[in-house]
Amino acid sequence: MRGIAKTTLIAIIIAVVVIAVAGGYAAYWFYSQQARPSKLVFVVIGKSVHPYWSVVEAGVKKAGQELGVDAIFWVPQKEDVQAQLSTMDSYIAQKVAGIAIAPSDPSAATPYINKALQQGIPVITIDTDAPQSNRLAYLGTGNYKAGWLAGLAAWQLAKEKGYIKPGATIKIAMLTGSLTAMNSLERMAGFKDAIMNCSQKDPDIKGNIEIVWLGPYNDQEDPTQALNLALSVIQANPDLTIAFGVYAYDGPAWAKALQQAGIPPGKVVLVEFDVTSDNVPPLQQGYALVTVGQRQYFMGYYGVKLLYNMTKYGVDEALKNFVPGYPNNKIFDTGIDLVGMSHKEFTAPTGEKVTILSLSEYKQLAQELGIDPSLLGLS
Distance CA 94, CA 319 (A): 25
Strands 98-101 and 70-74: unpaired
- How many Cα atoms occupy the beta-carbon half-sphere of 185 within 13 Å? 4
Buried b (16+ CB within 10 A) or exposed e, 32-41: eeeeeeeebb
Q: What is the pLDDT along the chain (379 residues), one digit of tens a residue?
A: 444 433 433 333 232 223 333 332 232 333 333 334 457 999 999 999 888 899 999 999 999 999 999 999 999 998 899 999 999 999 999 999 999 999 999 999 999 999 999 999 999 999 999 999 999 999 999 999 999 999 999 999 999 999 999 999 999 999 999 998 889 999 999 999 999 999 999 999 999 999 999 999 999 989 999 999 999 999 999 999 999 999 999 999 999 999 999 999 999 999 999 999 999 999 999 999 999 999 999 999 999 999 999 999 999 999 999 999 999 999 999 999 999 999 999 999 999 999 999 999 999 999 988 888 988 999 8
- How many Cα atoms occupy the beta-carbon half-sphere of 78 within 13 Å? 0
**Single-letter amino acid, residue 370:** G
User: How far lies 335's CA from each of 5, 61, 101, 149, 179, in Å?
Assistant: 12, 20, 19, 11, 23
pTM: 0.82
Residue ranges and CATH numbers for the domains of the chain are: 3-141+295-334 (3.40.50.2300), 143-294 (3.40.50.2300)
Distance CA 170, CA 27 (A): 57
